[in-house]
Copies of this chain bind each other. A is one copy, B any other.
């Protein structure tokens, strides 16, 4: 439903949201073990996110990746849009283009409104909001 890359990206962004800010940037080598993602792969992912302004970065000494306040207001869907696009999230379980509730495929009812529910949440939930819930104990964050 999400590619490995997207999962890694989300984990990394949430980690940065919790542990970094403009005055406390974090380097790849201090992140990768903590979220269990291969170092070089993580580097590539963070660079893509940075280029698309999902996260922020600074080069040189004292540099690293971090989330600005603006970054934190973005919805989660932006992360997966940058990493893999949205095709994997489309709802039809048999990948039939014309499939919808008016013209459902054979499996349509078996999956229910699962995908659209998930997609809607990705669109509506901001990083900020998710982190707040975690801080408030409303959500847990095993990474």
Interface residues of A in 84-143 (CB under 8 A from B): 93-96, 98-99, 103-115, 117-118, 121-122, 125, 130, 134, 139-143
Contact check, A105 vs B140: say whether CB atoms are below 8 A apart.
Answer: yes
Contact check, B7 vs A141: say whether CB atoms are below 8 A apart.
Answer: no
Return A89 CB to nearest CB of chain B, in Å: 10
Contact check, B140 vs A94: say whether CB atoms are below 8 A apart.
Answer: no
Contact residues on A (Cβ < 8 Å of other chain), bracket: 35 or more
A25 at the interface (CB under 8 A from B): no
Q: Determine which residue in A94, A112, A118 has the highest number of CB atoms from chain B within 10 A of its CB, and name it.
A: A94
Contact with B along A1-39 (1 / 0, CB 8 A): 110100100110010000000000000000000000000
User: Can you report 25 residue pairs joining A to B where beta carbons are below 8 Å apart?
Assistant: A1-B1, A2-B93, A7-B93, A7-B94, A10-B106, A76-B110, A93-B118, A94-B143, A103-B142, A104-B140, A105-B140, A105-B141, A105-B142, A106-B140, A106-B141, A108-B140, A109-B139, A110-B118, A110-B122, A110-B125, A111-B117, A111-B118, A112-B117, A114-B115, A114-B118
List 19 extra interface pairs beyond A10-B107, A103-B140, A109-B139, CB under 8 A.
Answer: A1-B111, A2-B93, A4-B95, A7-B95, A10-B94, A11-B94, A76-B107, A93-B118, A96-B143, A98-B142, A104-B140, A106-B130, A106-B134, A106-B140, A106-B141, A109-B121, A110-B121, A111-B114, A112-B118
